[in-house]
């Protein structure tokens, strides 16, 4: 009997994913443990292995299909001795419908509106996007009907690539638009990024942009969509408030230089300012455990471990690898662990447990020259620390004006769990460790 292959749940919170790439073909024999596909979640692209031996009978979901729900049948595997005839009448669990319903195609309207310009991630450096000129699609002859006749696969491919099916003529029976027509229009399958004006677009339910403004469409990947949804929910549902302290980091910079010179002898580590910040935040949370908490309607959850999520900007998104039990780790261990986590984050190779489950977050934009900012809380965490750059400023010490290297840090708090007094106590403890860094070594 044929075996259903379903969209796996690659993390406890995963509800859907993108089938990024098939690594097998129909008719190919596979064995248990063979990698058969790449699945893109909101944070990483992961390989999926076969569980059973057999022959790939049918691939039900096309490459690049987004929004595939967990447990949806994506392929069918034939057991030994079975052929394609065994698929006849086989129940895939989707009642003869496609594993993923094709996205609806917008109908051209007389009064076009505009599409919102894409926005960059809060902590990611801007990425330059280059327009790609798409070949002009063939124009369809209009013969008394506005109905677009296209195969489900062609509709899905057009929706993913931004093609307007109404402006195309099909080569299939009765003028039906088929897969070959989409591939021809895309000239090899490159995603379409059309430079256009608002007046040239079909109507869509979206906020307007400046009429006549030129722009480039950059399709939102799964990560970008999840970031948008989670942060919108955070600002709408979590009562944020903010408080800022300025930290003198001259002693910290001197200690960092000295420790790095010692570490350079055996290349054991190379400390960054961010490593000191992670260590100081972890020790401050250990000192003020009421800030290491989350809100629920039934109870406030105070965590018994200090797990620091650190924002890392990656291509077209943001990910927060977690330094577990950071209060129990020294600077060198934190530094080496962060280098490993950040490197694999950029490669999209983090495991779900390596970027989920933090109890507190840090977002550092000092390397981009940002003096001060307020970050959005990452639910269900109760707070996030936003760190600006260290810069020389005039300060008053012992009644006299002097120059010191100062760093502004802003704590965003969920007022339901971290009120003003708790937040102030946490920042006071953090500032103490930063300004007297030798206490981090004790």
Q: How far apart are CA 184 and CA 170, in angstroms?
A: 11
Distance of CA 299 to the CA centre of its chain: 29
Nearest of 205, 212, 196 to residue 134 by alpha carbon = 196
Is 240 labeled as catalytic in the residue annotation? no
Residue of 176, 225, 251, 415 marked active site: 415
Do the bridges between strand 360-364 and strand 383-397 make them parallel or antiparallel, or are there none, so unpaired?
A: parallel
Q: How far apart are CA 337 and CA 333, in angstroms?
A: 6
In order of 157, 172, 402, the CA distances from 179 in angstroms are 8, 9, 71
Helix (H, G, I), strand (E, B) or coil at 301: strand
C-alpha span between 10 and 15 (Å, rounded): 9
- Going along 316-355, which residue ranges are E strands? 317-319, 322-323
Closest to 353 (Cα-Cα) out of 311, 322, 317, 313: 322
Of the CA atoms within 13 Å of residue 116, those in its CB half-sphere come to 7
| 409 Cβ contact list (under 8 Å, min separation 6) | 244, 245, 246, 247, 385, 386, 387, 388, 427, 430, 431
Distance CA 125, CA 364 (A): 12
Q: Report residue 403 as tokens.
A: 């120059």
Q: Report the DSSP beta bridge partners of residue 52.
A: none
Other CB atoms closer than 10 Å to residue 442's CB: what's the count?
5
Query: Diameter of the chain by CA atoms?
Result: 90
- Going by DSSP bridges, is the β-strand pair 360-364/35-40 parallel, antiparallel, or unpaired? unpaired
Distance from C-alpha of 182 to C-alpha of 178, rounded to nearest angstrom: 7
Give the residue ranges of DSSP H helices in 129-200. 152-161, 179-186
Taking residue 263's Cβ as centre, other Cβ atoms within 10 Å add up to 16
Between CA 259 and CA 121, with CA 411 as vertex, the angle to 5 degrees is 90
Active site positions, annotated: 415
């Amino acid at each position: 009997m044929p075996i259903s292959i379903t969209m796996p749940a690659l993390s406890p919170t995963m509800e859907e994913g993108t089938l990024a790439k098939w690594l097998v073909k129909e008719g190919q024999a596979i064995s248990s443990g063979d990698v058969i596909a790449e699945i893109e979640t909101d944070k990483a692209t992961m390989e999926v292995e076969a569980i059973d031996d057999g022959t790939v009978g049918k691939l039900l979901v096309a490459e690049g299909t987004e929004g595939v729900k967990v447990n949806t049948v994506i392929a069918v595997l034939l057991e030994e001795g079975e052929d394609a005839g065994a698929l006849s009448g086989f129940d895939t669990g989707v009642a003869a419908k496609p594993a993923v319903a094709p996205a609806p195609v917008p109908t051209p309207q007389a009064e076009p509106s505009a599409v919102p310009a894409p926005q960059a991630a809060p902590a990611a450096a801007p990425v330059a996007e280059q327009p790609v000129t798409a070949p002009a699609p063939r124009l369809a002859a209009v013969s008394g009907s506005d109905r677009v006749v296209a195969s489900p696969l062609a509709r899905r491919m057009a929706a993913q690539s931004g093609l307007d099916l109404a402006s195309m003529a099909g080569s299939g029976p009765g003028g039906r638009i088929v897969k070959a027509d989409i591939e021809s229009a895309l000239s090899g399958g490159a995603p379409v990024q059309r430079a256009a004006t608002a007046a040239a677009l079909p109507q869509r339910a979206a906020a307007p942009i400046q009429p006549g403004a030129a722009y480039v469409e950059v399709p939102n990947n799964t990560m970008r969509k999840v970031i948008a949804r989670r942060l919108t929910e955070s600002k709408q549902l979590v009562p944020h408030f903010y408080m800022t302290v300025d930290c003198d980091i001259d002693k910290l910079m001197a200690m960092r230089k000295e420790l790095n010179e010692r570490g350079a002898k055996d290349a054991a580590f190379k400390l960054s300012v961010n490593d000191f910040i992670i260590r100081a935040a972890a020790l401050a949370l250990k000192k003020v455990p009421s800030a290491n908490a989350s809100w629920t309607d039934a109870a406030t959850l105070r965590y018994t471990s200090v797990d620091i999520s650190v924002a890392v900007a990656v291509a077209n998104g943001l990910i927060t690898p977690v330094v577990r039990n950071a209060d129990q780790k020294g600077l060198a261990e934190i530094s080496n662990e962060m280098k490993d986590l950040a490197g694999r984050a950029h490669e999209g190779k983090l495991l779900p447990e390596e970027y989920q489950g933090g109890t507190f977050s840090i977002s550092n934009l000092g390397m981009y020259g940002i003096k001060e900012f307020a970050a959005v809380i990452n639910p269900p965490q109760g707070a996030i620390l936003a760190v600006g750059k260290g810069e020389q400023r005039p300060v008053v010490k012992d009644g006299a004006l002097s120059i010191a290297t100062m760093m502004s840090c802003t704590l965003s708090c969920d007022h339901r769990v971290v009120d003003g007094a708790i937040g102030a106590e946490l920042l006071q403890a953090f500032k103490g460790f930063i300004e007297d860094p030798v206490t981090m070594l004790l």
